[in-house]
Amino acid sequence: MNKQSLGPKVLTLPTPVLMVGTYDQAGKPNIMTVAWGGICCGQPPCLNVSLRKATYSYNCLMERKAFTVGIVHKSQMRQADYFGMASGREVNKFAATGFTPVKSDLVDAPYAAEFPLVMECKLIQHTDLGLHTIFIGEIMDTKINPDCLDDSGKPDPLKIDPFWFAPEARQYYSTGESLGKAFSVGQPFMAKK
Amino acid sequence: MNKQSLGPKVLTLPTPVLMVGTYDQAGKPNIMTVAWGGICCGQPPCLNVSLRKATYSYNCLMERKAFTVGIVHKSQMRQADYFGMASGREVNKFAATGFTPVKSDLVDAPYAAEFPLVMECKLIQHTDLGLHTIFIGEIMDTKINPDCLDDSGKPDPLKIDPFWFAPEARQYYSTGESLGKAFSVGQPFMAKK
């Protein structure tokens, strides 16, 4: 089948819905929703998020050199969508949603107690790419609600039950069922040369 | 609920399953599966992928300054898993899976005809972060199979039907149903201050 050209679209799928937590100069906690981001290094463990300069969080991150990234349960989709629309310049998003700010004990940034999973990051570099600036943070700790662990004490993706964002379609989607074990289901091809 | 510390884990969810296509020095096409990556800039449209220096694709990317990123349908999970286990140094992964290499008409890199969605990228920068090097590419075009478009000609995420990877659990998961419209479902919170 011949492919159709769409022009240069930003269209990786699925795209995560990341809750970026920062403090402003006055110490007001803020959360901003970011879809452009993910893991970028295994050791040291690092993640990246991209923000526009115009956002309130951009300056917070530049000043405090720290941020958190929360992963949200699908029942928190409406709050997460709001965190991506409102600006911390004008409102206190924690007050508006009733979410509870918690100060990280490791980095100078807050997260919401209601997020099932949180990574606390120290900013290690940032690069201006154009409309967005990519911020890379070293993950100092990853914290999880105990009810999201499986029987062996490992994070259970289906208990965290995250949702995702589709660029272009501008829709949120749930996650589905387990399909198979990574580094395993492709094993039959290993015998072929 | 008090959170439990897991130590610094790389655990964004969902994590995409990206098919990174490159040519080696001799012109042999290769595909490597990468979970550390995503969109990092809206304008110019850019995406990032992180690779270990030890991989075959690392050198290919350094030499050719170009790569493609394919998104795969869940029916292609076994091939995608294989692309993440085998090394192009030892095998021809296209031959092993029967997938068809296509030379991008815009950048010096190949993709598989079987991938429903592909982004063709020109390398614009790379940074060594430790175990991984982050590569940032400008997306020159995004190509899609026409049967993955909806009635209005837009990419339909449920027709592309991608799957995702959960770090730590090391499992693949399917995507679920549409949950709601982004920049919309959070609207009720906008009235609150």
Q: Phi then psi for B149, rounded to 5 degrees?
A: -95, 150
As given in the structure block, the two tokens for residue A124 are: 């290690």
Cis preceding-peptide flag for A29 (omega within 30 of 0): no
- How large is the average pLDDT for residues A17-31? 97
pTM over 0.90, yes/no: yes
Task: Determine the distance in angstroms separating the CA of A108 from the nearest CA of chain B, rounded to an integer.
Answer: 16
Helix (H, G, I), strand (E, B) or coil at B158: helix
Q: Which residues of A touch B187 (CB under 8 A)?
A: 81-82, 85
Mutate to test the interface with B, among A36, A40, A50 (most CBs of B within 10 A): A40
- The whole-number pLDDT of residue B169 equals 94
DSSP state of A97: H
- The whole-number pLDDT of residue B191 equals 84
pLDDT per residue of chain B (193 residues) written in tens, 0 to 9? 699 999 999 999 999 999 999 999 999 999 999 999 999 999 999 999 999 999 999 999 999 999 999 999 999 999 999 999 999 999 999 999 999 999 999 999 999 999 999 999 999 999 999 999 999 999 999 999 999 999 999 999 999 999 999 999 999 999 999 999 999 999 999 986 5
Given CB atoms, is A45 within the 8 Å cutoff of chain B?
yes
Asked if residue A193 has pLDDT above 60, the reply is no
CA count, 13 A, side-chain hemisphere, A77: 20
CA count, 13 A, side-chain hemisphere, B95: 10
Asked if residue A1 has pLDDT above 90, the reply is no
- ipTM score assigned to the predicted complex: 0.96
Nearest to A157 among B8, B86, B173 (CB): B173
Q: Which residues of A touch B73 (CB under 8 A)?
A: none
Given CB atoms, is B31 within the 8 Å cutoff of chain A?
no
Distances (CA, A) of A102 to A8, A138, A178, B4, B56: 40, 19, 32, 14, 43
- The whole-number pLDDT of residue B62 equals 96
- The whole-number pLDDT of residue B193 equals 57
Task: Determine the distance in angstroms separating the CA of A153 from the nearest CA of chain B, rounded to an integer.
Answer: 10
Contact A32, A51 (CB under 8 A): yes
Mutate to test the interface with A, among B1, B3, B175 (most CBs of A within 10 A): B3
Query: Residue A81's CB: how many other CB atoms inside 10 A?
Result: 24
- The whole-number pLDDT of residue B14 equals 97
Query: For residues A47 and A140, what is the distance between their CA atoms, to the nearest angstrom?
Result: 11
Q: Do A142 and B11 touch (CB under 8 A)?
A: yes
User: What average pLDDT is seen over chain A?
Assistant: 96
Query: For residues B63 and B59, what is the distance between their CA atoms, to the nearest angstrom?
Result: 6
Q: What size, in residues, is chain A?
A: 193
- The whole-number pLDDT of residue A43 equals 98
Closest CA to B3 of A112, A140, A53, A109: A112
pLDDT digits (tens, 9 = 90+) for A41-82: 999 999 999 999 999 999 999 999 999 999 999 999 999 999
- How large is the average pLDDT for residues A24-44? 97
pLDDT digits (tens, 9 = 90+) for B35-83: 999 999 999 999 999 999 999 999 999 999 999 999 999 999 999 999 9
Burial of residue A180 (number of CB atoms within 10 Å: 0-12, 13-18, 19+): middle
Query: Residue A128's CB: how many other CB atoms inside 10 A?
Result: 10
Q: Which residues of A touch B100 (CB under 8 A)?
A: none
Q: Do A13 and B11 touch (CB under 8 A)?
A: no
- The whole-number pLDDT of residue A191 equals 84
Listed in sequence order, the residues at least 6 apart from A79 whose beta carbon sits closer than 8 Å to its beta carbon are A72, A97, A99, B186, B189
Contact A72, A84 (CB under 8 A): no
- The whole-number pLDDT of residue B192 equals 66
Query: Residue B159's CB: how many other CB atoms inside 10 A?
Result: 15
Residues facing residue A49 across a β-bridge: A37, A135
- How large is the average pLDDT for residues A129-133? 98
Query: Residue A28's CB: how many other CB atoms inside 10 A?
Result: 17
- The whole-number pLDDT of residue B168 equals 93
